[in-house]
Structure 1
Amino acid sequence: MTDTTTTAPGAPTPDVWNSIEALWTWLESNTPYEGTTREGLLLRLLKLSEEVGEVAQAVIGATGQNPRKGRTHTWTDVESELCDVIITALVALRTLTPEAREVFTTHLTRVRERSVGTA
């Protein structure tokens, strides 16, 4: 396994799990509450709700549902906010367990098999 994968010639993209580990390490060394404390864990999990709220705000802005504000976001903004939710969730999972990659892979396999079968 390498640290990067290539999606287009000359365009390396970071390995997801190496990036999650780097973000988790950075957060652990730059926050007032370590993720291993109860407060740190709760705050890290609450961050996920904040990010989901930003998705909702972007969807409302992209569809112009607030007549006072009109269209304030694009669907590209929604995509970006969804990516933030995914990143935040994976960092939260890493906060719960150092085996986040294995936990996620096992769970994803179960969900895929339950939903679309093992084909």
Structure 2
Amino acid sequence: MQIHGFQLNIQTVPDTTVYRRQLGIPDELASCQTAQAGPYALEGPVPARDVIDLLRHQPDIIGLINPAKEAQPPKAKSNNNSTGSTAQRTYILHKNGQATALHPN
């Protein structure tokens, strides 16, 4: 993230549950790291290009998630008929708690 111009304030904590919940990230969408960029929650290894687009467009959402634990999170809706690929995908976390693929194709 730093090579993309982001200034980071990294804090290592034994459990991110409290922080995730404060940011509005449901427990079932928990991943390996939790962050905040402006008003947005970030969960998991969200690519810098997706964070840059998020901050540029400023949609009315909770944030972005990239669940490292599974290929597709629970509640995710996608038009993509996956062939079992393990490639990680970024999802939009809407204010209603639903997650939809940021790049469906």
TM range (shorter): under 0.3
Q: Which has the higher helix share?
A: 1
User: Looking at CA atoms only, which structure, 1 or 2, has the larger radius of gyration?
Assistant: 1
Q: Which has the higher strand share?
A: 2
Q: TM-score, normalised by structure 1?
A: 0.20
Q: TM-score, normalised by structure 2?
A: 0.22
